[in-house]
């Protein structure tokens, strides 16, 4: 089965791609699936896209990417199936998806965020007005099969396509291993992983860390930005790097995933939490969206609704290495049973097969 993967980002750079199709590829390959990646981004665009300035450079890089995408779409008949992750182009209506649909090649559409909800990017506020979030509905209609990351996204997609399958974001449990922690560690590390655009979520609990630092000893590790400060708190910030990601996360003793309770966040698929849990790191999340499905409060992690609960749960974990260990191992078990690539990739293959069969019957 030859699959053209129409994706937004350069290989091994975007969390959504990395923990969905790119991670499933190894298992799909064993079933005879050969994937060719066609990112919208070029290296030129990637260098400037997530920076808050460089408007002129972004414009010319985006024009170049649109030309590249047109060439990609002109080649679709060389493939058995087209997989579209999120959208074929980061701006504008679904021109390219319409063209693919007219070719007759079946489309499997996969999305792991509430991309149908208007969202203003911190780095590209003005470009956000050109994103056409309502195009998600049309892409669902044009597709043979739709894959989504959680029930909230499925409830949206099913309104436009009856062939919807929920496949959660997954972790490669062969790469992510539980690391034995030092129970006598004098200064535990609380950690968060994200990006320039999501660090605003961490900002929602800045006061939690300030209050906690008045009575507790800890270090805050922030992965995804090279400059993050909270007065009165010892902060270690670093850029995200694919090659050191697992090691950078493994040094964390407690993982946090705060989220605002809004329509965009309800579409999140809990990747940060799953990464921590796969490494045996006890995890505290806001009870927003799929987090409340992944985390059973007090059993395989903690949920925190407000500042008082964040402080109370963090104190519990800071004071008890045994609790950290037990919750961490319970979290790891949850990932192994329900959120591993090994468990979910075969279901992706079945979706691909179904798309081919339904197309051949038309």
Q: Where are the domains of the chain?
A: 2-170+341-361, 189-338
Q: Decide whether 2-170+341-361 matches 189-338 in CATH topology.
A: yes
Band (30; pLDDT cuts 50, 70, 90):
very high
pLDDT tens for each residue of 323-360: 999 999 999 999 999 999 999 999 999 999 999 998 76
Phi-psi region of 166 (alpha: psi -120 to 50; beta: other; left: phi over 0): beta
Q: Choose among 264, 268, 45: nearest CA to 133.
A: 264
| pTM as predicted | 0.90
pLDDT-derived band at 46, boundaries 50, 70, 90:
confident
Strand partners, 222: 192, 237
2-170+341-361 classified as CATH 3.40.50.9100: no
Q: How many CB atoms lie within 10 A of CB 197?
A: 15
| Closest-CA residue to 281 (of 237, 325, 317) | 325
Compute the distance between CA of residue 285 and CA of residue 207 in angstroms, rounded to an integer. Answer: 16
Q: Is the dihedral of CA 86, 87, 92, 98 positive or negative?
A: negative
Find where tokens 């992510």 sit: 176
| One CATH from 2.60.40.10, 3.30.70.2470, 3.40.50.970, 3.40.50.2000 for 189-338 | 3.40.50.2000
Residue 120 pLDDT:
59
Cα–Cα distance measured from residue 121 to residue 301, given in angstroms and rounded to the nearest whole number: 30
CA distance 304 to 2: 45
């Amino acid at each position: 089965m030859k699959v053209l993967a129409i994706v937004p980002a350069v290989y091994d750079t975007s969390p959504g791609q990395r923990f969905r199709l790119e991670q499933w590829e190894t298992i799909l390959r064993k079933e005879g699936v050969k994937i060719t990646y066609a990112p919208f981004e070029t290296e030129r665009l990637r260098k400037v896209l997530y920076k808050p300035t460089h408007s002129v450079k972004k414009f010319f890089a985006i024009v170049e990417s649109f030309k590249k995408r047109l060439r990609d779409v002109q080649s679709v008949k060389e493939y058995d199936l087209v997989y579209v992750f999120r959208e074929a182009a980061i701006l504008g209506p679904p021109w390219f998806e319409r063209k693919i649909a007219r070719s007759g090649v079946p489309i499997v559409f996969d999305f792991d965020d509430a991309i149908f909800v208007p969202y203003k990017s911190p780095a590209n506020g003005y470009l956000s007005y050109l994103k056409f979030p309502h195009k998600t509905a049309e892409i669902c209609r044009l597709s043979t099969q739709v894959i989504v990351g959680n029930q909230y996204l499925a409830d949206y997609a099913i309104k436009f396509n009856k062939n919807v399958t929920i496949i959660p974001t997954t972790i490669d449990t062969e790469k992510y291993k539980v690391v034995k922690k030092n129970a006598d560690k004098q200064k535990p590390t609380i950690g968060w992983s994200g990006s320039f655009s999501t660090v605003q979520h961490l900002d929602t609990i800045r006061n939690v860390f300030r209050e906690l630092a008045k009575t507790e000893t800890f270090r805050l590790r922030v992965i995804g930005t090279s400059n993050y400060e909270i007065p009165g708190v010892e902060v270690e910030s670093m850029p995200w790097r694919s090659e050191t990601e697992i090691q950078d996360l493994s040094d964390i003793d407690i993982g946090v995933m705060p989220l605002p309770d809004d329509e965009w966040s309800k579409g999140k698929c809990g990747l940060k939490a799953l990464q921590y849990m796969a490494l045996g790191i006890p995890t505290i999340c806001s009870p927003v969206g799929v987090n409340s499905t992944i985390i059973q409060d007090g059993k395989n992690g903690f949920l925190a609704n407000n500042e008082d609960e964040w402080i109370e749960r963090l104190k519990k974990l800071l004071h008890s290495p045994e609790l950290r260990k037990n919750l961490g191992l319970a979290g790891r078990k949850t990932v192994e049973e329900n959120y591993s690539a090994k468990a979910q990739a075969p279901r992706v293959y079945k979706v691909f097969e179904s798309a081919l069969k339904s197309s051949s019957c038309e």
